[in-house]
A and B are shown apart, each in its own frame.
Chain A
């Protein structure tokens, strides 16, 4: 029998546990340019109707989103 893996969110568990700093989005400043969404290595930023949301269950807190946000709308805060 060939061992088959099945696709699953959280294949390596709740990776939000890895985080020491969390990104916090200021929705007032956000222009929905989607840079954070497209660059997120974790697929942990998702698009809603008009803005983006962060999935803290899986966000590893790398800070790429905060570093790339052109409007400075994402700040990293200690957990």
Chain B
């Protein structure tokens, strides 16, 4: 697939209130283009809510619901059931939440919906913190990262949410990055064709939260993949597949030093070594999973 095959029609309209250089709108544009106009979306409290929540106007050109923080997946189950009752089968249901609304607050509803096998796509755009409320730590914040609630760097490792979703035995789980739009587009297109609960997680580097210049959003996302800090893979019916094989990864410092949230961590060689070791171990684990499941 080529870049020009991505549809021209914009479903995220210009003049919305997201920050300059916001990664979530880039992600949402590509995801909605892949799903098409016949899509209903549910969005909880998160940065996305400011795009369509500016009553009386909405910046998103499809029907959507603003829902309480923890209910995204429950609402999607309801929409899907309503559509099924009416015999409508050509409408996509999309749950769209941040990492706070997925890893922490929305996990119960999501787990329940996945267990029931509700037919919808859940997208988590992961900016690794509660950006909308002013940069607090979340279950997705990586170890040693600064947030307003982890002044000296977070002490705990982040959750492995994609693996939690794989453990629900759902037909499709994938990770993506805003820096790889064709990969993201293809993953959403694939998820659209599968019946059941689908989960896609998109890395979304947040300029004010991660503290880098807003022109570097895509650069940071790209470096995350090139240093293996964020891996692009998909799990289809339990089978793992790596989508971006990084043969010669860049050192993790290249990724860390662009972000002020790691400014203390990069000064500590022991912490950098630890982060590099974690990233390497994660890649080995991923390769092992590909080997075991195929």
Contacts and interface: CB of A to CB of B under 8 A. Distances in A.
B15 A10 contact: yes
Contacts of B52: 5, 11
A68 B218 contact: yes
A34 B13 CA distance: 18
B243 interface: no
B214 A62 contact: yes
B20 A67 contact: no
B14 A63 contact: no
Given A55-B14, A63-B21, A34 B58 contact: no
B58 A7 contact: yes
A41 interface: yes
Given A5-B55, A68-B219, A41 B6 contact: no
A41 to B, nearest CB: 4
B25 A42 contact: yes
Interface string A6-37: 11111111110010000000000000011101
B23 A9 contact: no
Contact of A58 (B14, B26, B53): B14
Contacts of B8: 46-47
B59 interface: yes
Given A5-B53, A11-B58, A41 B215 contact: no
Contacts, number: 124
Contacts of A58: 14-15
Interface size of B as a range:
35 or more
Contacts of A39: 26, 178, 181, 218
A59 to B, nearest CB: 8
B268 interface: no
Which of A8, A34, A57 neighbours the largest number of chain B CB atoms within 10 Å of its CB?
A8
Interface in B175-216: 178, 181, 213-216
Interface in B32-76: 51-62
Contacts of A4: 56
B58 A6 contact: yes
Interface in B4-18: 4, 6, 8, 10, 12-18
A23 B157 CA distance: 39
A7 B23 CA distance: 21
B136 to A, nearest CB: 23
A11 B3 contact: no
Contacts of B62: 7
B30 interface: yes
Interface of A: 3-15, 18, 33-35, 37-44, 46-47, 55, 57-58, 60-64, 66-68, 76
Shortest 5 CB-CB contacts between residues of A and residues of B: A63-B215, A10-B15, A11-B57, A58-B14, A62-B21
9 contacts: A3-B56, A5-B52, A10-B57, A11-B15, A12-B16, A15-B16, A38-B30, A46-B10, A63-B213
Interface of B: 3-4, 6, 8, 10, 12-18, 20-23, 25-26, 29-30, 51-62, 178, 181, 213-219
